[in-house]
Structure 1
Amino acid sequence: MSAAKTSHPRTRIQAKRRARILEAALDVFSTHGFRGATIDQIAEAADMSKPNLLYYFRSKEAIHQELIQRLLDDWLQPLRDLDPAGDPLAELRAYIRRKIEMSRDFPREGRLFTNEILQGAPHTLGMLQDVLKPLVDEKVQVIESWMRAGHIVRTDPYHLIFSLWATTQHYADFDVQVRAVLGPERDGDGRFEDAARFLEQLYLNGLAPR
C-alpha cells in the first residue's frame, strides 16, 4: 500500500497534496492506461515537481494501486447494498440505477478499471480473488434464494451479474460512441435516464415471475 515517506501523521497540507496527485493521476491513467502513463505526466497534471510528487508516492505503481483500491471499494458498494430481505425486483432496480449513476458521475474511474482489466489485471488480481469473488458468491446465494422462493425466474446468477455490469458500464466506457450514435438531440445527460429506464424494462420484465 502506498505511503508518504514519513512516519509522522499527515498534515492538512500533505493530505491536500496527496488528493491533488490522485486527482491528476486519475485523469492521466484513465486517458493513457497504466503503461502509457508516466510520473512526469502526473506531476505536470498535478502542477508540482517530480521530486515533490515522489515525496508523497514512491512510484507510479503506488499511485495506481491506491486509486484502484479506492475505486474497487466504491464500485462494489452497490452490490454490497443488495438487501436479501428486500423485494427482489426493487433491489435489482436500485442496483441498475446506482450503476448507471456511477457511469454518469465517475466515467474516469470506470475507464481506469476497464484499462486495468484489459491488461490482464496485473495490479488487481489479488483484490479480484480476495474481495470481489467472495462478495459475488455471497450475492449469488441471495439471488438463488429469490429464485427458490419464486420471486424471480430461474437463470444463471453469475451471468446475470456479469450482464448487469456490462450493460451499465457500457455508458461510461463507450460514452463517445453512445453520444455519436444518439446524435445532438439525445446526447445530453438525459441519455443516462433513458438508459436506466431501458435496462429496468429489459431486466425486470425478463426476471419477473411468469
Structure 2
Amino acid sequence: MEMRLKVRGEMGKMRMDEVGAVRVNGMACKNPLFVQADDFFYSGLHIAGDTGNSYGYRVSPVTVYQIPGLNTLGLSMMRIDYAIWGANPPHTHPRATEILTVLDGTLQVGFITSDPQNRLVTKVLQRGDVFVFPVGLVHFQRNMGHTNASAIAALSSQNPGVISITNSIFGSTPPLSTEMLAQTFGVDNKTVHMLKKKWMHV
C-alpha cells in the first residue's frame, strides 16, 4: 500500500516532491521513495504542558501536523495536563472518537448525549482508568484532586479537529448577533457583551 505523507514546503512554497501530488484531507501525499524515519517520529510527550492559563490545562497534540506519517492512517493522540482544579472545558472533536487514559491524578470526565435527551454521562477517574468520548459529542475533563493531573488520549482521526463551545459561540469572527445570543441563553445584552469581550481575548 502506497505510503502517503504530508509534505512541508519551506515558507509555504511547494517542494519538487509536492508537485502534482495527490492530497488527502488537504495533506500532500509524499512519494514513498522519499519516506524517512522522521516522518513517523515525534518526541516530547514526556514533557508536561504549561497549564498557566485561565483554564488551567494544556493539550500537547500529536496529529498529522506533528507526524506526517499519520496521513491516511486515521489515528492521532495527545497529552493533556491539568493544574489543580484545571479543566478542559466542553468541546467536541467533529471527526474522531477519543479514548482517554489517566496517567496521574483524579479527573471528573463526561459527555452529553445528543438531542432530545441531552443526558450527562460522567464518571470520576483515577490513575490507570480509561474513558471513551464518542465522536462529535460535547465532552470535558476536570481535575478533581489536590495535585496536578495528566492523561494520554488517542483519537480515531489523523486530524480530529476541535470545537470549543464557549470560544466558538462568544469569540467567532465576525461575532454572532448579541440579540440572538441573549435570546438563546435567556440573558440580557449586557451579559452577552461581557462574555464576548472575555472570549474574544482568550
The two structures have a TM-score, normalised by structure 2, of 0.29
Decide which structure has greater helix share.
1
The two structures have a TM-score, normalised by structure 1, of 0.28
